[in-house]
Structure 1
Amino acid sequence: MTRHDFEMVIGIEVHCQLKTQSKLFCPSSTAFGDDPNSHISEVNLALPGALPVLNKEAVRLAVLAGLALDCDIQQTSVFSRKNYFYPDLPKGYQISQFDKPICLGGHLDIDVEGTQKRIGITRIHMEEDAGKLVHQGADSIKGATHSLVDLNRAGTALIEIVSEPDIRSAAQARAYVEGLKMIVQHIDVCDGNLEEGSLRADINISVRKKGETSFGTRAEIKNVNSFRSIEKAIEVEFKRQTALVLAGEAVIQETRNFDEATQTTTSLRGKEEAHDYRYFPEPDLPPLVITADELADYKAELPELPAMKLKRYQDDYALTSHECKVLLQDVSMGHFFTDVISQVTSAKPKKVALWITGELNAAIKEKQVDFSSLPISSQQVADLCDAIDTGKVSGKMAKDVQVACFGSSFSVADVIAQMGGGQISDTSELEAVVQDILKANMDVVAKIKAGKTNSANFLMGQVMKLTKGRAKPDTVLQLILDAVKQF
């Protein structure tokens, strides 16, 4: 028996930090990156007499997430105390939801290399986040000399999306988390920033022989903070667990950490069960009641979901599934594409999509900006795509025009004029340039006449260089091949 005789069984808990201005149970700010312990209140510090007050905006965002994932919204839900001790939790308990969460059921459809799969969702519940330990003397808790506590994050509003154990590969796990990220971003519930921790994934993984229906002993890998790490953590944990089983050893139920540097998982602590947390209803908060009218308003507010938008892009703009997904992975990019499409006069949507996801995306990455703070307007990009479509500029020249437009209010037409005009359409002007280039490169002409037609690309490059990219490559190539016959 080998590792290939086993399959992995994975369930994922995704924590999404809700886009609220204040925390879940107090008015402290949720701003990221400020000085440690600068956004804390009596509630976060668990001072005597401090009482929680529920943030209504957090409830709205939690319901929107549930609706987007086709969950059954519970019109009555209850907050509970989850009791445990850790330095970043001053109260000694976390206000969460246990047996009566705000959302039940639901699903997310994923696509892995053309294969569709539906991943069930068990529940979505609301809870407050804990603080953060800042380890000193090392990059992680392992090897640290001591740790500092920053409570700025304590009390931040979260939803935890708990999947069914329906995931069977690292690729499926990545697709699932990517799909959740796309949805919560499109409905403006969470910014989905894994690096800043506003979206965090806990991966529960066990192994079993293929064909079996019972579950093995699971390990939980905490707070994996990148898509690549999700895949790698699952792969190395699968190898670890199968190696134990094949050696006749037991897999221990525990919480583990994925170490980026060593590409291994290491034990953190024994994995707790629900009874270890001694859940009981939060006495300082009444049951959360969502009226039928409020639920109807939330449903009416739900924007177009990524799956619906993908189908619309395919139907209306003839884009491929891959092209749609690239546009939808960045909400701001998708909005920008829609704006450009509404302003072009001749360029086809597919060409616009390729320009935005290709040349424009590469250019702004080089400048270290993103689509939420573009240095070029949608009108400028629309005019540029039209100029390419009508042959006013070549692809190479269009890149230069685009860069010249960055941070400028000049129109594309003005920039083209400043650069000496658009693409040369007068073939007589090009013929003279081609003749000069051929006379200066008779050795290359001889190669072309001998049948090495690829050598014409060198001559074409010389013409393009001399005309500063204003010549149309196809036209230049044909002029070269015609002129060679006369030598």
Structure 2
Amino acid sequence: MAYETVVGLEVHVELATKTKLFCSCRTDFGDEPNTNTCPICLAYPGTLPVLNEAAVALALKAALALNCEITRETKFDRKHYFYPDLPKAYQVSQFDRPLGRNGYVDIEVDGEKKRIRIERLHLEEDAGKLIHTPGGTLVDFNRGGVPLIEIVTAPDIRSGKEAAAFLTELRAILAYAGVSDVRMEEGSLRCDANVSVRPVGETRFGTKTEIKNMNSIGSVERAIEYEAARQMEVLAQGGTIVQETRRYDEARRVTVGMRAKETSADYRYFPDPDLVAFTIPEAWIEEIRESLPELPDARRKRYVEEFGLSSYDARVLTQEKAVGDFFEAAVAHGGDVKAIANWMMVEVLGYLNKEQKSIDAVPMTPAHLSRLVRLIEDGTISGRIAKEIFPEVIATGADPEALVREKGLVQIQDAALLEAVVKRVLEANPKSVADYLAGKEKALGHLVGQVMKETKGKANPGLANALLKKALEARRGAGGA
């Protein structure tokens, strides 16, 4: 029997506020454990919460960026569960009146576009962090009370690949909107996946499992693919799927059962009596809507229309806001746009991936990249020389023009000088000469390569090619001598 995978995601995103949701404790990541705490976020008896207006504004901004309808009359609820990282024994969240509803994110997978619906976006407080050690489990409450938005998708996702595409696009939108730094490695974006399978053509959903402990977009994709395959195998053997929470073991690339899965009734939601319901003014919503910057999809369309880039190139260059900003700044400094785009996608992103760095962590500036491209365009250096000096430019911030002069890498444009090199190359490669004269055009490429080798890459390739052809045709006219 053929099955299809059905996935819904629950994404938790820490908002980029300076202080927590209901108190004035700082939200800085990496501080000493339990130093950013107070009686409010540690749930001392008699303390009362005060809502952080900046958190509400960022949550509204996220909801608008994700095409959600705003719930103007909203409130906070208590979600009860007992866990060591939750000092109140309940989490302040939103149940039946979430801040945003009925949004969507458009994705593209293998050239196919698809809309993933967002059922709800609500504001809540984060829990603390459990730190497991050989001697026991410790709790760091620095994270407790940090403002979160939870984004819940409809069960529209049909594969791990689609889930990865959604998370990639969601991460980009939230980063562009400035609502979060969305760093999965620091836990400011976390994702749980609800996975079920059903026979192809069936409309009812199968029994779902929830997967946790996924620390990268790649982990989410792999975990979903494994879990779907596991469920299909269980059903094929006549078994049944148990509704449970499972964790993803990245080292073994398998999901492992943790505990039975709760339902919403188990959380015993009720309105928080310490936080009154409130109305969001329409004027405030419109003010935030007007403040939204250009988002990834709009930027991609502009790159295609304004710069003449392919949709693929535009997507690569806009996935990270900082990369798109760098690219546009380089273009503003001058140089061929498509050449700059190619350098960004191949050399710059290649270096960043290899070194595991962000573009704002390298000394190279947009002006440096523009200058490097223009040195190739005006014939000062060849593309080969540019690639040779690029690692030093990006790693040290060295000026490309000064580096070329210092290393004596200026391209040889002197025809008389290159003619002497061409003569030596032809004499040293009689077989390639004979092959070319016999009609094997590829032999010319080998001879050009030899000229470049002898000049240590400094010969102008176009001039070298022209001089070689001229000399070879002269030999042809002389009967191959």
TM-score normalised by structure 2 residue count: 0.93
Of residues 57, 67, 90, the one that matches 2:64 is 67
Which AA in structure 2 matches 1:158? L
1:11 aligns with 2:8: yes
1:85-484 map, 5 Å: 85-137=82-134, 146-344=136-334, 347-365=335-353, 369-406=357-394, 411-420=399-408, 422-442=410-430, 444-446=432-434, 448-449=436-437, 454-484=442-472
Matched with 1:140 is none
The change in CA–CA distance for 1:394 and 1:99 in structure 2 (over 3 A counts) is same
* C-alpha deviation, 1:416, in angstroms: 3.0
The change in CA–CA distance for 1:365 and 1:219 in structure 2 (over 3 A counts) is closer
Give me the whole-angstrom Cα distance separating, in 2, the residues matched to 1:264 and 1:406. 39
Give me the whole-angstrom Cα distance separating, in 1, the residues matched to 2:409 and 2:165. 47
* C-alpha deviation, 1:185, in angstroms: 0.8
What's the CA shift string for 1:59-118, capped at 9, x where partnerless? 111001110111111122111111111111111111111111111111111111111111
* C-alpha deviation, 1:436, in angstroms: 2.3
Give me the whole-angstrom Cα distance separating, in 1, the residues matched to 2:209 and 2:409. 65
Tell me the secondary structure at the aligned position of residue 101 of structure 1: coil
> Equivalent pairs: percent with the same residue?
44
Matched with 1:141 is none
* C-alpha deviation, 1:268, in angstroms: 0.9
Give me the whole-angstrom Cα distance separating, in 1, the residues matched to 2:196 and 2:223. 13
1:26 aligns with 2:23: yes
Give me the whole-angstrom Cα distance separating, in 2, the residues matched to 1:408 and 1:264. 42
* C-alpha deviation, 1:409, in angstroms: 7.3
Give me the whole-angstrom Cα distance separating, in 1, the residues matched to 2:252 and 2:361. 36
1:35 aligns with 2:23: no
Which AA in structure 1 matches 2:426? L
17-26 vs 454-463, greater mean Cα deviation = 454-463
Contact 2:296 2:319 survives alignment (8 Å): no
* C-alpha deviation, 1:467, in angstroms: 2.3
The change in CA–CA distance for 1:121 and 1:371 in structure 2 (over 3 A counts) is same
Contact 2:12 2:150 survives alignment (8 Å): yes
* C-alpha deviation, 1:435, in angstroms: 1.7
Tell me the secondary structure at the aligned position of residue 12 of structure 1: strand
Tell me the secondary structure at the aligned position of residue 234 of structure 2: helix
Aligned positions, number: 475
Give the unaligned 5+ runs of structure 2: 476-480
Matched with 2:478 is none
Give me the whole-angstrom Cα distance separating, in 2, the residues matched to 1:133 and 1:450. 75
Give the unaligned 5+ runs of structure 1: 138-144
376-385 vs 108-117, greater mean Cα deviation = 376-385
112-121 vs 362-371, greater mean Cα deviation = 362-371
Matched with 1:81 is 78
Tell me the secondary structure at the aligned position of residue 215 of structure 1: coil
Which AA in structure 1 matches 2:254? T
Give me the whole-angstrom Cα distance separating, in 2, the residues matched to 1:377 and 1:250. 57
Q: Cα RMSD over matched residues?
A: 2.1
Tell me the secondary structure at the aligned position of residue 44 of structure 1: coil
Which AA in structure 1 matches 2:412? I
Which AA in structure 1 matches 2:203? T
The change in CA–CA distance for 1:288 and 1:387 in structure 2 (over 3 A counts) is farther
What's the CA shift string for 1:208-249, capped at 9, x where partnerless? 111111111111111422122112111111111112222222
Of residues 53, 64, 76, the one that matches 1:56 is 53
Contact 2:77 2:269 survives alignment (8 Å): yes
Which AA in structure 2 matches 1:371? I
Give me the whole-angstrom Cα distance separating, in 2, the residues matched to 1:448 and 1:155. 75
Which AA in structure 2 matches 1:82? K
Give me the whole-angstrom Cα distance separating, in 1, the residues matched to 2:356 and 2:197. 42
Tell me the secondary structure at the aligned position of residue 106 of structure 1: strand
Which AA in structure 1 matches 2:57? R
